[in-house]
Copies of this chain bind each other. A is one copy, B any other.
């Protein structure tokens, strides 16, 4: 099912799930709380979205696993009959929940919503995700903080391996694919050990976790490259929490098949829209009287129906429609980008496509980007971030 570009590592494949097939490389919009913020399932379909991510941590706390099961499972609950991946909630337990205590048994934490105490074990994470009924489910992992000592990073990686094994043994449904997560921080040695152990157990797919948490992009890319090169060729490789358009184009070239990130939706709600030349801020005065769409090369609903001036006006007025229109544009940009990437791989022209894209696309200034990311992570730690991962 997997084709590669000549002389490169970019792969084009297809994942078969109980809710249909998913061409890869693929980008998954984030719908943590059983909704991709601001848009309906029909809009996701029109945008060309093939699979969405939901979050077991969020849904376990609210509305509760039991409620979703009673409503017929996550697909029916959110009225999305295409494939879904649920994250185990490992990342949220460590980044969003309060007073988290970890033992080998599992994690105890307080809800970020009401402070209530909960425990999660690897077996529990699988049980929750089986109850939600996503097509791909994730093993519970321990995500180290970027400032953790090498010893703590190593201990978290080792616990992640033991937990992955327990998740595998706890799985009872055969219609869901269980993916393991490779941790190990920025240590190539730890990453290698994790890959060796997890692939010896055998999983339906492998994720690379714990990246894009404030480290420079070149380091993230190097760890991704090294880790991806060790993963089996016949299984999907999923880089979690990544990323930007330039990350996708780059990391597909490093052998990655799947991505998820809040970036296009969150940026959209903040008025930042993607174009082939880079991000643009629609609040900028140059858009005040622009009769053309914000991105003249775009075929999304927003660009087909509204001027940049109108979108600018809606953002200035803080009108709710603004957030939806920008979200639709950014998700369509990502969807079109993944289609073009896949086509280039299949045509064996990926290398030139990549070079052309990266030459035209002006990424956000690296220092500003890291600064923004750290501020946001810090805000999350202190629970003052208005948006939830």
Contact = CB atoms under 8 A, between A and B. Distances in A.
Contact of A310 (B38, B77, B306): B77
A312 B68 CA distance: 12
Contacts of A33: 313-314, 317, 319
B37 A79 contact: no
Contacts of A307: 71, 77
A280 interface: no
A108 interface: no
B310 A71 contact: yes
A348 to B, nearest CB: 40
A385 interface: no
B38 A309 contact: no
Interface string A56-82: 000000110001001110000111000
A313 B62 contact: yes
A324 B320 contact: yes
Contacts of A79: 305-306, 310
A163 interface: no
B321 A39 contact: yes
A76 to B, nearest CB: 8
A47 to B, nearest CB: 14
Interface of A is mostly: loop
Interface string A319-338: 11101100000000000000
A72 B34 CA distance: 39
Contact of A320 (B34, B38, B291, B317): B38
A33 B312 CA distance: 12
A63 B309 contact: yes
Contact of A38 (B67, B317, B321): B321
A297 B38 CA distance: 26
A315 B240 CA distance: 28
A349 interface: no
Interface string A147-187: 00000000000000000000000000000000000000000
B320 A320 contact: yes
B310 A37 contact: no
Contact of A37 (B62, B63, B313, B320): B320
B320 A323 contact: yes
B310 A62 contact: no
A306 B41 CA distance: 11
Interface in A274-298: 288-289, 291
Nearest to A72: B291
A320 B306 CA distance: 21
A35 B288 CA distance: 17
A316 interface: yes
Most chain-B Cβ atoms within 10 A of its Cβ — which of A306, A307, A316, A320? A320
Nearest to A302: B40
Given A35-B319, A62-B316, A79-B306, 14 more contacts: A33-B314, A33-B319, A35-B314, A40-B321, A41-B305, A62-B317, A63-B309, A67-B288, A71-B291, A77-B309, A77-B310, A78-B310, A79-B305, A79-B310
Interface of A: 33-35, 37-41, 62-63, 67, 70-72, 77-79, 288-289, 291, 305-307, 309-310, 312-314, 316-317, 319-321, 323-324
16 contacts: A33-B313, A33-B319, A34-B310, A35-B317, A35-B319, A40-B324, A62-B317, A63-B312, A63-B316, A67-B289, A70-B291, A71-B291, A79-B305, A79-B306, A320-B323, A320-B324
